[in-house]
Amino acid sequence: MENPRLFISYSWSNPDHEAWVLQLATELRETGVDVILDKWDLKEGHDANAFMEKMVSDPSIKKVALICDKVYAEKTDGRRGGVGTEAQIISGEIYAKETQDKFVAVVRERDPEGKAYLPVYYKSRIYIDLSDPSDYAKNFERLLRWVYDRPLYEKPTIGATPAFLDEGRQSVSLGTTSRFKRALDAIKNSRPNAIPAFSEYCDIVVSELEKLRLDPNADPFDEAVVESIESFLPNRNEAVELFLALALYEDSTDSRKTLHRFFEKLIPYLGGENFKFLIHELFLYSIASLIRRERFEAVAHLISTDYYVPGNSDYGRDVMVSFGVFRSHMKSLEHRNKRLDLRRLSVRADMLVQRCKGVGIDFRDLMQADSYCSCEITSTTQTRCGIGGRKRSYMRIGIRQRLRFSRGPNRQLTSKELKPCWA
């Protein structure tokens, strides 16, 4: 599939806005979109007006995103500056053509009354809203779907067997969407049923996760693990959006207990290789969401409160375990590294980094959560066994090591370079 080309039209309103646009463009390129941006493609000596006219009218550029803030709307309506020049071309294109799927407004800012800043010629049209960080993941997905011409509500194929009825196929949908929407609405609007709705969502995730259990005879097994992890991505994004909403609107003793019970109920799944990754990832994002909103008491609750594992009592093991249980070693990814000769320090960390796109949690937030968990594990392993039952051992190489060395030569770290890292 050919990478779609997208031109971003925006105003140089202020340094923060320019940095936001640059980050958006970077995330889009990392998700396969060939973004054309003046900061990258307009060089000294080029004719700025000719460049803008070409970007808007060039038939090879199938999509144009209009990043709308107050300054952009004012310059567009007043036909001032480079934005005004673009507006004259864009408005003509929009009104002249019957098919109007080349242009979309991406709202970055709203006025004091909560109305989106939009050019006059775009007032009646549907836009994509990236002004609210809590809805960023959902609306970034909308933007990607628009760029790739993959609508959010694509009509399903008639006659296809539902994935959950086919024991031989991996189910992508866990049937959580309706409960996710109900929980998100209740949390954001501080309804009395917010916590029960979130608890109901958690329970359905726990029960439906069984659909992702892998056939142990799958060959190659590591490929099945990776495919299963990728199929869970929409559900992961739902959970992250709920974590962010919970941290912002509904941090309470009850919400903390509900989140703790959710992860406690996931522990029995940790015997599966794909579940090891998915549950660890969910836990890491929950910590990152809480830290981002400075809900440190909630973080402390998830970290310091042990988790009950009833099955352990049958084997004489401790029925209470620390949060370190959520980070289990994955032999399948270790095997994948060798089988495909990837020569990566950590395939698991690579996957965490690659999947940290368009979810409202940026990589720095994930790094911070990872560091916090690492420090907590390091402080507790002096007196009790931590991940993998090792005392004072180096934690497995993770996100920070991957960040430091992934762009450099493939080599093994020395003992002096190894640092505790939970992810």
What does the pLDDT read at residue 182?
94
> CA 88, CA 76: separation in Å to the nearest integer?
8
Alpha helices (H) in 79-220, listed in sequence order = 81-96, 136-147, 177-188, 194-208
Lowest mean pLDDT of 180-189, 214-223, 401-410, name the range. Answer: 401-410
**273-292 vs 233-249: helix crossing angle, rounded to 10:** 30
> CA 37, CA 8: separation in Å to the nearest integer?
6
Lowest mean pLDDT of 263-267, 284-288, 319-323, name the range. Answer: 319-323
* pLDDT for residue 139 is more than 70: yes
Query: Of 304, 228, 236, nearest to 272 (Cα)?
Result: 228
Neighbours of 140 (CB within 10 A): 22
Mean pLDDT over the full length of the chain? 81
Lowest mean pLDDT of 118-127, 147-156, 309-318, 331-340, name the range. Answer: 309-318
Neighbours of 343 (CB within 10 A): 11
Query: Of how many residues is the chain composed?
Result: 423
Look at the pTM and tell me if it is higher than 0.85: no
3-class secondary structure, 130: coil
Q: Where are the domains of the chain?
A: 5-147, 178-405
* pLDDT for residue 29 is more than 50: yes
What does the pLDDT read at residue 419?
39
Task: For residue 359, give both structure tokens.
Answer: 């979810």
Amino acid at the residue 396: R
Q: Determine the Cα angle at 370 with ends 366 and 374, to 5°.
A: 170
3-class secondary structure, 6: strand
Going by pLDDT thresholds of 50, 70 and 90, the confidence category of residue 20 is very high
Task: For residue 422, give both structure tokens.
Answer: 């939970």
Please say whether the beta carbons of 104 and 46 come within 8 A. Answer: no
Q: Check residues 1 and 366 and name the one with the higher pLDDT.
A: 366
Provide the percentage of residues in the chain whose pLDDT is more than 90: 52
What does the pLDDT read at residue 192?
94
> CA 87, CA 72: separation in Å to the nearest integer?
10
What does the pLDDT read at residue 387?
36
Mean pLDDT, rounded, for 174-185: 92
Task: For residue 301, give both structure tokens.
Answer: 């609750």
Domain 5-147 adopts which CATH fold?
Rossmann fold (3.40.50)
pLDDT tens-digit map of 194-232 = 999 999 999 999 999 999 999 999 999 999 999 999 999
What does the pLDDT read at residue 367?
85
Neighbours of 5 (CB within 10 A): 17
What does the pLDDT read at residue 98?
41
Please say whether the beta carbons of 275 and 230 come within 8 A. Answer: no
What does the pLDDT read at residue 378?
60
Q: Check residues 346 and 58 and name the one with the higher pLDDT.
A: 346
What does the pLDDT read at residue 383?
43
* pLDDT for residue 171 is more than 60: no
Amino acid at the residue 155: K
Neighbours of 416 (CB within 10 A): 6
Q: Which residues contact 410 (CB under 8 A, 6 or more apart)?
A: 343, 344
Helix, strand, coil distribution of the chain in percent, nearest 5: 55, 5, 35
What does the pLDDT read at residue 47?
73
Q: Which residues contact 388 (CB under 8 A, 6 or more apart)?
A: 328, 329
Neighbours of 229 (CB within 10 A): 22
Characterize 35-69 residue by residue with b for buried, 16 or more Cβ atoms within 10 angstroms of its Cβ, and e for exposed. Answer: bbbbeeebeeeeeeeebbeebbeeeebbbbbbbbb
Question: Can you give the C-alpha Rg of the chain in angstroms?
Answer: 24
Amino acid at the residue 261: R
What does the pLDDT read at residue 338?
95
Mean pLDDT, rounded, for 53-80: 80
Please say whether the beta carbons of 116 and 129 come within 8 A. Answer: yes
> CA 65, CA 15: separation in Å to the nearest integer?
19
Mean pLDDT, rounded, for 126-151: 91
Query: Of 328, 223, 225, nearest to 279 (Cα)?
Result: 328
